[in-house]
Amino acid sequence: MWQILKAEFEYYKTVLLLAYGLALLFLVFALLWLNTGAGALISFTTITYAFACIIVGATHENEKRMRFHSILPVRPVELGMVDVLFVALFHFGMCVLWIAFPLLQTGRLEAPTLPNVFFGFATMQSAIAVFMINVHLRFVGRKNYQWITFAVFITSGAVLGLLHYAGYFSPAMRLLAPWFKSLWGTALMIVIWLGLAALSIVLFARRKSYLV
């Protein structure tokens, strides 16, 4: 597994270096000339990260990487873990910049910064894990089980819409916002991410086809 993870980082090093380089440039620019908070940096690095992930994902698919790796004597669970670890470790590098920014700007690491960073990290990784789960659901059985993720999305959307319509959404968010930034909120989000990542690994291992 580690050989594959190492190879993936080596193979995509240009894309990764470019993404980190852009993020670093923005950080320096923001520190020297912009009077901005960490929020702008987080948004910029997240967009850069998302673009880099799209490039990596497209190359992965074009070059039939899954097929290539699946022929090797490696357990599917390990291949699933490589996918999860690659995007998480890449993202973690961005998080270091998020932490570095306020540290360089104010000279101290403010109290809510770390939970903020990891809440954002876990949320983004959870979204990626859901995307991976959705892809794997197409191949775990003879039928396409992607309707499960669509059903969850539609149900969530409907519930949120109803809450908004009933006027409960904004007050609920205001109530929950501090909790999201707290240590417990971050811990819960990390647990959710780990659960979703584990599910995506299990589903990968249970795929009936590794051709696409």
Partner 1 sequence: MPNAFAIKNVVKTFDDFQLGPLSLELEPGTVLGYIGPNGSGKTTTMHCLVGLLKADSGGMEVFGRRNDPHHPEWKLDIGYVGDVHAFYESWSAEKNLKFISQFYPNWSDRLAADLAKRFNIPLNKKAKELSGGNRVKLALIAALAHSPKLLLLDEPTSGLDPVVRAEVLDVLFEIVESGERAIFYSTHILSDINRLADELAFLDNGKILQRTAKDDLTERWRKISFRLAGNDFHQLTAVVQQRHEGREHQIISSDFEATLQHLQQLGAEDVQAHRMTIDEIAVQILKGAQHVANS
- 73 lines the binding site for partner 1 (CB under 8 A): yes
Q: What is the distance between the alpha carbons of residues 42 and 47, in angstroms, rounded to a whole number?
A: 9
CA proximity to 202, closest of 109, 75, 112: 75
- 76 lines the binding site for partner 1 (CB under 8 A): yes
The distance from CA 118 to its chain's CA centroid, rounded to whole angstroms, is 11
Q: Which one of the spans 27-35, 41-49, 159-167, 203-211 is the region binding partner 1 (CB under 8 A)?
A: 203-211
- 211 lines the binding site for partner 1 (CB under 8 A): yes
- 57 lines the binding site for partner 1 (CB under 8 A): no
- 130 lines the binding site for partner 1 (CB under 8 A): no
- Nearer to partner 1 by Cβ, of 152 and 211: the residue is 211
The distance from CA 94 to its chain's CA centroid, rounded to whole angstroms, is 11
CB of 181 to partner 1, least distance (A): 41
Q: Three-state secondary structure along 72-89?
A: CCCCHHHHHHHHHHHHHH
Q: What is the distance between the alpha carbons of residues 206 and 14, in angstroms, rounded to a whole number?
A: 32
Pick one of 28, 43, 58, 67: the residue that binds partner 1 (CB under 8 A).
Answer: 67
Binding positions for partner 1, rule: CB under 8 A:
3, 7, 11, 63-65, 67-68, 70-77, 142, 205, 207-211
